[in-house]
Amino acid sequence: MELNQLVFYLFAGVAVASSVMMITRRNPVYSAMYLVVSLFSIAAIFVLLNAHFLAALQVVVYAGAILVLFLFVIMLLNLGHDFEPDVRGRFWWFFGLGLGLVLLAELVTLLGNLRGPAEVDLLTPLFQARGAVAALAESLFLNYVVAVEVTGILLLVAMVGAVVIAKRRV
């Protein structure tokens, strides 16, 4: 087995295990911490899949910004101390696990048999020619510049909305 594949399986195992821990811990702070572990392993998998810039973005945006926001809200609402046990009863576990297994079987039969042509690799020559960031940025700011603008407006709207909704009295 190649080293690449070994590292992939290692991080995939860590991601799956910490995700399972995330949905089974009763304390929301522990859940958030396991989510951080899961997101970091996903960043490592991005590196293995030839997406170095996205791996950095994953660490900065998810582990750095979104998770801090989650932890801040958990601490603000004081849910880390006097949390109520919130895991549903046995019926919901059977229902959820059954539904999850059915979904997993569907997705695996759909996706697991998908084989790309093994010799095709469009990214490596592009990254070698332009660099990992410039290749992304060129396509983003030349071909998809309207989408970037729309996403900027979306962020502005979300920011205003978050402030207005969380305000005590408008």
Partner 1 sequence: MLPESLVLSAILFAIGVVGVLVRRNAIVMFMCIELMLNAVNISFVAISRFVGIEGQLFVIFVMTVAAAEAAVGLAIIISIFRHYGSVDVRNFRLLRW
Q: List the interface residues with partner 1, window 11-30 (CB under 8 A).
A: 12, 15-16, 19-20, 22-23, 28
- CA triplet 64, 6, 37: central angle to 5 degrees? 20
Residue type present at position 107: L
Closest contact distance (angstroms) between CB of 155 and partner 1 is 6
Residue 146 tokens read as: 């309207």
Tokens for 20, please give them. 């399972």
Closest CB to partner 1 among 107 and 128? Answer: 107
Residues of this chain, 145-164, that bind partner 1 according to CB under 8 A: 147, 151, 154-155, 157-159, 161-163
Find the binder of partner 1 among 101, 125, 128, 145 (CB under 8 A): 101
Handedness of CA 26, 30, 32, 36 (dihedral sign): negative
Residue 170 in contact with partner 1, rule: CB under 8 A? no
Closest approach, Cβ 95 to partner 1, in A, equals 7
Please identify which residue in 6, 10, 75, 92 interacts with partner 1, judged by CB under 8 A.
Answer: 92
119 binds partner 1 (CB under 8 A): no
CB-CB contact of 155 with 146 (8 Å): no
Binding pattern for the stretch 29-68 against partner 1, x by CB under 8 A and - elsewhere: --xx--x--xx--x--xx-xxxx-xx--xx--xx--xx--
φ/ψ of residue 88, rounded to 5: -70, 175
Choice between 73 and 128, CB closer to partner 1:
73
CA 46/CA 29 separation, integer angstroms: 26
Q: What is the three-class DSSP state of 168?
A: coil
Interface with partner 1, residue 121, by CB under 8 A: yes
